């Protein structure tokens, strides 16, 4: 294809996007769909996280943003061991609510001992205080977005 044809094709696409307000997305890769519920551990992180991905509409995001900025008493609280952010899949423009929960290290040890070694530990499952830090949220979100950009969500 000549550069003139490529330029006119690109201009037509941009014109269509400007007129309709709808971007045309490149098709998603042909890899298999990724499950919406999975465990994830970013590089150099001591914690594992339970990740839940749920598709959401643009209208829902817009409503949440209005609520966030218009409510005088913002009651949008989450649990300390939970972090929620929104992600847009580049290949198809779909929005997802990504919910991340810290998995207890004691639970990980218990499950590994029981399922791999066949040993049921009699540990005291004391109440752990698991809470996200701001840096931890940013680090997790960065690595999850990189990971999710390589997979098609269900």
CB 20, CB 144: distance < 8 Å:
no
| Rounded distance between C-alpha atoms, residue 11 and residue 101, angstroms | 44
Nearest to 86 by CA among 22, 144, 134: 144
Question: What is the distance in angstroms between the CA of the first residue and the CA of the last residue of the chain?
Answer: 35
Cα dihedral sign for 124, 136, 67, 95? negative
Is the model's pTM score more than 0.85? no
In this predicted model, what pLDDT tens digit does every residue of 33-50 receive, in sequence order?
Answer: 788 899 999 999 999 999
pLDDT band (50, 70, 90) for residue 126 = low
The stretch 1-15 carries a mean pLDDT of 42
Q: What are the sequence ranges of the domains in the chain? A: 36-153
- Mean pLDDT for 57-71 is 83
């Amino acid at each position: 294809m000549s550069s003139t044809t490529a330029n006119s094709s690109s201009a037509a696409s941009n014109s269509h996007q400007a007129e309709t307000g709808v971007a045309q997305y490149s098709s998603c890769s042909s890899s298999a769909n990724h499950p919406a519920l999975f465990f994830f551990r970013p590089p150099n992180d001591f914690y594992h996280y339970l990740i839940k991905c749920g598709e959401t509409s643009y209208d829902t995001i817009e409503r949440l943003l209005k609520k966030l900025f218009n409510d005088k008493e913002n009651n949008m609280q989450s649990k300390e061991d939970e972090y929620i952010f929104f992600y847009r899949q580049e290949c198809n423009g779909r929005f997802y609510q990504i919910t991340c929960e810290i998995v207890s290290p004691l639970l990980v040890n218990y499950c590994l001992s029981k399922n791999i070694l066949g040993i049921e530990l009699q540990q005291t499952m004391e109440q752990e205080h698991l809470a996200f830090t701001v840096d931890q949220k940013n680090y997790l979100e960065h690595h999850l977005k990189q990971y999710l950009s390589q997979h098609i969500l269900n």
